[in-house]
Each structure stands twice: as structure tokens, then as C-alpha cells.
Amino acid sequence: MEPKAHHVIIGFFTLAAVSAALLFALWLGKSSTDTNWAYYRIGFDHPVGGLAKGNPVLYTGVPVGDVLDLTLAPDNPAHVRVLVRVNQDIPVRENTRAGLVLANITGSMSIQFTGGTPDSPILEGHKDNPPLIAAEPSAFSNLLTNGEAMLGKAEQLLESANQLMSENNLSNIAEILENTRQASESLLASRDELEALMAQFDAAGIRAEEAAIKVSAAADRSREVLDERVEPVLLAMSRALTTLQPTLD
């Protein structure tokens, strides 16, 4: 009898748990049905990776609805239209803005409404014809766009580095380094000769300076001699001309 009693108890608790789960699901469905919803389409002109049906819709960080559908714009497949529903009590206004926000570290995204001034009219969200709200680029989407551009530049940089480090360039660089090493060794080996040559240049400079001093002294002496000997001759000639002048007249 005891094993049968255990089976009966286990079956009773299992049935109770299943019944409670069904009742909870029915309550959730009734709660969702009883909620009055407003419907909007959010237009994105950039990728919406991480956004999916059922993802939450937030209003200034507070969950107020969910994503119902994602479709491509019929006139431009590069644009995305996201259908969302929001609790009708939420004041979505004509100047309310929408965008993407990161929901968690796995990359899942949410729609977030922000802004909307009290003097702006309420934007009625009819289910049959939901109004379109143009999404603003979010910081995360800008980061993704800029990140792709940065990755492209990084790839170009790596490609340039690979070309620079090609086998031919490495061989040329090695040859340049070897030539530089040999030139340095040659300079070091001829250091004594260079020092001797520089000493000769210094000595030649000193001798040239001494010769210039001697030439200058000789020139001064020649001037003195000319002054001493030529001046008396010129004076004598002048006197002779003076004496002959009356005779010539």
C-alpha cells in the first residue's frame, strides 16, 4: 500500500503544478488581451542587428511594450520598418523620438522612446494604420558604423604593413643595414689615417697663416723703402723743372 500511496501523492503534486502553470499562462494571456495598446512603426535607415520580435520597447528606460514585426521598406530595402505596440497610457507625442539601445551584453537590442514635450499633441497609434516615427541614429549604431570604418582602415594598414614586410623589401632592408655596417667598420678602421690627415690640414693652415704674415710684413717694408727713396727723387725733379721754366719761356 505504501508504494501506491507515494505514487498517488507524486501524481497529485504533478497535476497541481501543471494546473497552476496553465492558470498562470491563461492569466497572462487575459492580461495581455485586456491591455489597450497603441501601435507605431519605427523607420530605420541603418542596420538593426540584435533587434527581434518580442524584444522590449522602453520609454525613458521603462518597459512599456514589445516588438511585433520587422520588415524591409518596400520602396527602399536598405531601410527597415519595425512594428511595435505600446501601452496606450504612455504619452507618445508627435515630437517623441525613437532609437535603438543595447538591452544586454549578448547584443540584444531594444526600441526606446525618449523626449516629447507636454505641449506637443499625442500621436495616436491606430492598429490598422500605425503612424511612422523616424528613428534617430543611436550612439550604439554610430559606434558600429564607425567601428566598421575603423576596421576597414585597420585592414588597409595591415595590408600595407604586409607589403612593407614582403620578402623583397626585407632583403633590401637587410642589404642596406649590411652596407651601413660595412661603411661604419671602414670608417672606424681608417680613423687613424683621418686623424693624421686632419693634423696635416691643421699644420698647413698654420703655415699658410705664417706666410701671410710674412707677405704682409714684406709689403709694409717695400712701401717704406719706396717712400724713403722715391720721394727725394721726385722733389729733385720738381726743383729742376722749376729752374728750367724761365729758360723755356
Lookup: cell for 85: 505596440
C-alpha span between 93 and 125 (Å, rounded): 10
pLDDT given at position 27 = 53
Q: Is residue 41 part of a domain?
A: yes
User: 79: which residues sit within 8 A by CB, 6+ positions away?
Assistant: 43, 44, 45, 72, 73
CA 57 to chain centre: 33
**Residue at grid coordinates 537590442:** 109
Lookup: cell for 60: 525613458
Residue-wise pLDDT tens digits, 16-73: 776 766 766 565 555 545 479 999 999 999 888 889 999 999 998 899 999 999 999 9
Q: Is residue 116 part of a domain?
A: yes
User: 48: which residues sit within 8 A by CB, 6+ positions away?
Assistant: 70, 80, 82, 100, 109
Lookup: cell for 152: 576597414
Expressed as residue numbers, the domain containing 43 is 32-137
Q: Is residue 37 part of a domain?
A: yes
Residue-wise pLDDT tens digits, 74-127: 889 889 999 999 999 999 999 999 999 888 888 789 999 988 888 999 999 999
Q: Is residue 189 part of a domain?
A: no
Domain count, the chain: 1
Please give the span between the terminal C-alpha atoms of the chain, in angstroms, as a whole number.
185
CB atoms within 10 A of CB 222: 10
* Global confidence as pTM: 0.47
Q: Is residue 23 part of a domain?
A: no
CA proximity to 146, closest of 242, 46, 60, 52? 46
Residue-wise pLDDT tens digits, 203-240: 877 887 887 888 787 777 777 776 777 677 777 777 77
Q: Is residue 63 part of a domain?
A: yes
C-alpha span between 53 and 88 (Å, rounded): 20
Q: Is residue 18 part of a domain?
A: no
